[in-house]
Structure 1
Amino acid sequence: MSRPAAPLPPRDTVAAHNRHLGRRGEELAARHLTSLGMVVLDRNWRCDAGEIDLVLRDGRVLVICEVKTRSSRDYGDPVEAVDRRKADRLRRLGVRWLLAHSCHPDDVRVDLVGVLAPPGGPVEVEHVEGVG
């Protein structure tokens, strides 16, 4: 005889968990990138066109960074979540950030940090430079 499926947690509980996981991933990504010598200029910058997770300086290059955090690989690797369309959107958001901050870097790059943070397991951080 089969057992009934376990009840799903309330939506607000799932949303709170996802927000917490996302914040944790962004913090881990920022620590990783600063350990490489980058400087965080902004976090969770928003405008009417969207949000940039991290804006950093890597020497004279402005880095627009998307952070994808997952607790498992059940739905794919975190870095697989950013396709060309998302990378193009991040570039457009980068231009908006530059205009809002009157910043004139030598170059702009879009990076991706994938964070895999399984409950009770080791955290993996993958940094991909120049996506899309």
Structure 2
Amino acid sequence: MKHLNDIKMKNVAPRKKRIYTHFFLGKGYGLGKIVHKTRIDKLISGSLDERRMKWLHGDVWNIGKIREVLKRVSGWTEDRKVFIRGHVRPIHILPLHYDSVPPGSENVTLYLGFSFNGLVAYNIEVEKDKIHMRK
């Protein structure tokens, strides 16, 4: 089934392959942990074009108000794949930009987004001086 989806996606224009994230993991409790993208958009100042450029260039993650709302998640990379620890087994996370994933095995932190394509990793940063988190 996945193979058929991959073939189908190959024939789709690149602009339609873009991942749209609807929700992010926040610092709240219960349902308050789920933060809708519109709430984040309201925290970004500027015109519509300026806000779009901040999303495109990743400047959104440097805004203090947004860092206060969203929770960073710890994980690791293996061969340019991102994982976080699940209850039973590691969970593979789709990075928004594959170029942002460090090669090899690294401990990373990231913002976790939820899309129809699955979990999405935003603003992946390598952690310094941490014990490897696998399993």
| TM-score for both structures, normalised by structure 1 | 0.30
Which structure is larger by alpha-carbon Rg, 1 or 2? 1
| TM-score for both structures, normalised by structure 2 | 0.30
